[in-house]
Chain A
Amino acid sequence: MTLKAVVNNVAPMTASKDVVVDIQKMSLTFQTADGPVYALSEVDLTISRGEFVSFIGPSGCGKTTLLRVIADLERATGGDILVNGVPAQQAREQRAYGYVFQAPALLPWRTIESNVTLPLEIMEISREERIKRGHDALKLVELNGFEKKFPWQLSGGMQQRASIARALSFDADLLLMDEPFGALDEIVRDHLNEQLLKLWARTNKTVAFVTHSIPEAVFLSSKIVVMSPRPGRIIDIIETDFARDRTLDVRETPEFLEVAHRVREGLRAGHSYDD
């Protein structure tokens, strides 16, 4: 309850009420022993409430870095970045987002339930409330009944679902997902994509989703951000308007193929093929 209040109290200072992420002329340069690496250069992007935004691009294009900057896991070296109208660091301190990593990153000595309620524990929420919210979050990813299992007793796909439940458990409005299904096989991935879409439609959360799969990006997103490497930058932003309750069948339609084609063209144009 207190958390919700905190998140809502973040009055938009500069951005309009519906803008969740506002990035302007943001750059990030890593200083390495071999000289500077320009991970991100002059990135402009806004994400509005309720959008499902995919970041797609070849490896090294900075899509994960961009997500990490939004999450304040990396610091931009130039430009501005506002999350919920406040600087990224402040947003992180207010627990403005749930983050899903490439690997489930469940703590092996905790049961699924206590893994999912870990963020609530950190936020010092009472035990009964934790159990209730953990139960709700597990229900959202259809993992109810697995509360007392340990992570190793679950399949890879179920573990990743548990980690999504963990990101949902404290009810942040923004969900940041970094190739969450990258390590899973095609069938499981399709299934989880459908589940995620349902979840998004139901909860009306804002999702930022990193992927390197074109079908995944087109199927899930309301907005596709195509990126290109060296230096990492945005080369195209594509809005789609598939129905929110679409199913996997949408992938056979001409509209879907058209969007996928445009994404592929963008990727090809941005790719220098110098390696």
Chain B
Amino acid sequence: MTIDAATLPTAAAGPTLWGRMMKGQTGPVCVMLIGLFVLWYVGAVFLNMPGQIDRYARAKQDWTASQLIEATLAQDRPVLPAPHQVAVEMYKTIFATKITSKRSLVYHTWVTLSSTLLGFGMGTLLGIVLAVGIVHVQTLEKSLMPWVISSQTIPILAIAPMIIVVLGAIGLKGLIPKAMISTYLCFFPVTIGMVKGLRSPDHIQLDLMRTYNASRWQTFVALRWPSAMPFLFASLKVAIAISLVGAIVGELPTGAQSGLGARLLAGSYYGQTVQIWAALLTAAFVAAMLVVIVGLMEKRVLERMGVRA
């Protein structure tokens, strides 16, 4: 009990603020971010420089190095917009615009998000139904699995317009066709993951259910489904991200008026690179958030299933 009370505080105060920051995750993550921004700024200056020098030459204007750098970071239609330009654009279109306006990124994000979520829901359901069929019916495994896999070898950019056109011909327009493209993309990881998951119980566990004369349905509920949970969530994380990609791709060929895809397309028509980057970053942020939400759901479910912390 004679711990040197005098030495303890000094020992605790030992590491500097810097040392403490670098010990955890915060420090390294910050350093990475700062590095990325520096790289971005340097890239913006160099990529926009030739255009800017051209412009000076045409205007027969003298320029200094600092003027040049300043100008490259403030162009209207830069090759690569600087981070602060994108940030200003995002602030303007997200916070400073009414969300009902067609200029609001929140509005466009919602349009894309709604078809993402609808497609994700349908894709997950389809994926699970296919997996259950494949695991329980041998004919389905032989007949369905090759189609499931080959469906994903067709580039989505090639098949998306077809889906839109075909569904348009039978009167389906707007949300549903876009959601179908998300569904088309995201059922796949769910099927693959769930087939593996539903088959993950050991022989010994399946034998155990057999000794109880459990029906297929009982074995499914008590053993196969819970065993598949970790596989399901791993698949869902992939599925939700590509579901968003599917929704954006679905907006490209239709000349859609709204949605993040429409924003990207309009931006590229008019050379509005700042607008493109703002839409891109918003899409990336939304995707990250969706994956985080799925991750939190996974954590809750697995915790309730008594998985070791």
Contacts and interface: CB of A to CB of B under 8 A. Distances in A.
A166 to B, nearest CB: 9
Given A93-B213, A95-B213, A101 B308 contact: no
Interface stretch (B123-131, B132-140, B146-154, B200-208): B200-208
Contact of A92 (B208, B210, B306, B308): B210
A109 interface: yes
B286 interface: no
A213 B208 CA distance: 24
B222 interface: yes
Contacts of B211: 71, 73, 92, 95, 97-99
A10 to B, nearest CB: 14
Given A92-B211, A121-B222, A122-B222, A105 B307 contact: no
Contacts of A98: 211
A183 interface: no
A119 interface: yes
A97 B204 CA distance: 16
A108 interface: yes
Interface string B189-225: 0000000000000101101111111100010001100
A12 B283 CA distance: 72
Contacts of A101: 204, 207-208
Nearest to B214: A122
A109 B218 contact: no
Contacts of A118: 212, 222
Contacts of A111: 306
A73 B214 contact: no
Given A73-B207, A103-B204, A109 B306 contact: yes
A11 interface: no
A223 B70 CA distance: 95
A38 interface: no
A152 interface: yes
Contacts of B158: none
Size bracket of the B interface:
20 to 34
Given A105-B204, A122-B222, A150 B306 contact: yes
Interface in A120-135: 121-123
Size bracket of the A interface:
20 to 34
B205 A107 contact: yes
B213 to A, nearest CB: 5
Nearest to A71: B211
Given A93-B213, A118-B222, A105 B208 contact: yes
Nearest to A118: B222
B161 interface: no
A75 B205 CA distance: 19
B223 A107 contact: yes
B43 interface: no
A110 B305 CA distance: 7
Interface in B227-258: 229
B226 interface: yes
B202 A107 contact: no
A105 B212 CA distance: 14
Contacts of B213: 92-95, 122
Contacts of A103: 204
Interface string B113-128: 0000000000000000
B226 A109 contact: yes
Contacts of A93: 213
B287 to A, nearest CB: 30
Chain B CB within 10 A, most for which of A101, A103, A152: A101
A152 B226 CA distance: 17
Interface in B286-306: 305-306
A119 B306 contact: no
B306 A108 contact: yes
B204 A73 contact: no
For the complex of A and B, list the 9 residue pairs with the smallest distance between their C-beta atoms, beginning with the closest: A109-B305, A150-B306, A99-B211, A122-B212, A105-B204, A122-B214, A119-B212, A93-B213, A109-B226
Given A102-B204, A107-B223, 12 more contacts: A92-B211, A95-B211, A99-B211, A105-B202, A105-B204, A107-B205, A108-B307, A110-B306, A111-B306, A122-B214, A123-B212, A152-B308
